[in-house]
Amino acid sequence: MHINWWTLALQTINVLVLVWLLSRFLYTPVLAAIAARQAAADKLLADAEAARVAATAQEATLKARTDAFAADAERRRAEVQAGADADRARLLDQAKQEVADLHKEAESAAGEERKKAQATLEVDAATLAGQMAAKLLDRLPGDITTEAMFRALVDRLATLLKEERDRLATGSLQVITPGTLSDQDRARFGFALAAALPGLTAPVFAVDPELIAGFELRTPQMVLRNSWRADLDDLLHALREDAHARTG
């Protein structure tokens, strides 16, 4: 067996040179390319991560803004709701007040109407009563009625206080009758009145058909009613008082 030492040395040098050559022209460039691609991939990943972080931050910002908008909208809605509630309550109170006022006005108007109707009815009743009394009176002899009413007047004068009689006697007395008296009746009633009212001067006779029957004595200081009209008025007044007492 023979070893060619020159060949061994040359081959050793050749392989070492080839190591250097391939390191220079193969491994270094390829490893650099791989490293560059890795760096690019890392950069891409870093950029993507940065973009993701930025997107997350932007999302958080937008969410915060949306939440703020929602909160503001909720606050505004609450304010509008509160305002609407206040307006509704105010309008409701106002409407209730107006209804109460209208109700009160209606009651007042109804009371007025009722009073007017009642007054009208009273007038109508008084008129009707007067007419009825007049018709009833027509069936009686006028002298009898006049005499009876005059006696009632004299009796009434007798029940008066002296001061009241003096007041009637001292004034210019006016004697009102429903119809015209004859001169004879005027004289007779004048004497009778003078007897009942000492100091009486000659009275003045006047006619008022409203009296229906009876006499009324009038002075500037006093009026003494003694007629059917006065009796009917008294009756109507008593009826009205009784109705007021019953309706409360």
Name the region of 212 (left: φ>0; alpha: ψ -120 to 50; beta: rest). Answer: left
- Contacting residue, 18, 46, 82, 223, with another protein by CB under 8 A: 18
Edge-to-edge strands, sheet with 223-227: 204-207, 174-177, 214-218, 223-227
**45 in contact with another protein (CB under 8 A):** no
**52 in contact with another protein (CB under 8 A):** no
Cα 223 from Cα 12, distance rounded (Å): 170
Closest separation between CB of residue 41 and another protein, Å? 9
Site stretch for another protein (CB under 8 A), options 6-14, 50-58, 77-85, 224-232: 6-14
3-class SS at 4? Answer: coil
3-class SS at 203? Answer: coil
Site stretch for another protein (CB under 8 A), options 5-13, 51-59, 135-143, 149-157: 5-13
**27 in contact with another protein (CB under 8 A):** yes
**92 in contact with another protein (CB under 8 A):** no
**12 in contact with another protein (CB under 8 A):** yes
Site stretch for another protein (CB under 8 A), options 3-11, 86-94, 96-104, 175-183: 3-11
Site stretch for another protein (CB under 8 A), options 18-26, 47-55, 58-66, 196-204: 18-26
**33 in contact with another protein (CB under 8 A):** yes
Closest to another protein by CB, 3 or 161: 3
**In sequence order, what are the residues at sequence separation of 6 or more whose Cβ sits closer than 8 angstroms to the Cβ of residue 202?**
190
Cα 27 from Cα 62, distance rounded (Å): 50
Q: Quick one: which of 210, 198, 136, 140 has its CA closest to 167?
A: 198
**8 in contact with another protein (CB under 8 A):** yes
**47 in contact with another protein (CB under 8 A):** no
**73 in contact with another protein (CB under 8 A):** no
**In sequence order, what are the residues at sequence separation of 6 or more whose Cβ sits closer than 8 angstroms to the Cβ of residue 210?**
130, 178, 229
**11 in contact with another protein (CB under 8 A):** yes
Cα 153 from Cα 175, distance rounded (Å): 11
- Total binding residues toward another protein, as defined by CB under 8 A: 34
**144 in contact with another protein (CB under 8 A):** no
Cα 117 from Cα 126, distance rounded (Å): 14
Q: Could you list the residues that contact another protein (CB under 8 A)? A: 1-12, 14-23, 25-27, 29-34, 36-37, 40
